[in-house]
Amino acid sequence: MKIFERVPVWEVLTRAVVDRSNPKYPANNRHAVLVMVRAPESDVPFAVDALLRSHGWRDVAMEQFKLLTKPFRSEDRVMMNWCEDAMTREGGTIVNEEPIEEGAL
């Protein structure tokens, strides 16, 4: 896929808090959110933060990130949609439905 040659694609594990503008989850809960964005390495934190804030998240903490060096492949439709969103839009997210308990890592 030529997109990998032009702009790097990153997979980022984050923790973020739901704000009141996100109707999918109860406000103020913290969740693990897997993010895929296209950005130069120096812009990854900004791209992740902007993507999550635009979808109703705040207090974003990046835990890990890795460069995807070849096209993403999966049999799972959710995972493929996530990748497609990253390739064709500003990025993609997958949210762990269970909130992170207060005091958990």
Q: What is the pLDDT of residue 81?
A: 79
Cα gap 7→77, rounded to integer Å? 24
The encoded tokens of residue 81 equal 């949609």
Q: How many domains does the chain have?
A: 1
Residue 105 lies in a domain: no
Look at the pTM and tell me if it is higher than 0.85: no
Does the structure show a pLDDT above 70 at 60? Answer: yes
Residue 102 lies in a domain: no
For 6-47, write each residue's pLDDT tens digit: 788 899 999 999 998 888 999 999 999 999 998 999 999 999
62: containing domain: 3-95
For 67-87, write each residue's pLDDT tens digit: 987 666 778 888 787 777 777
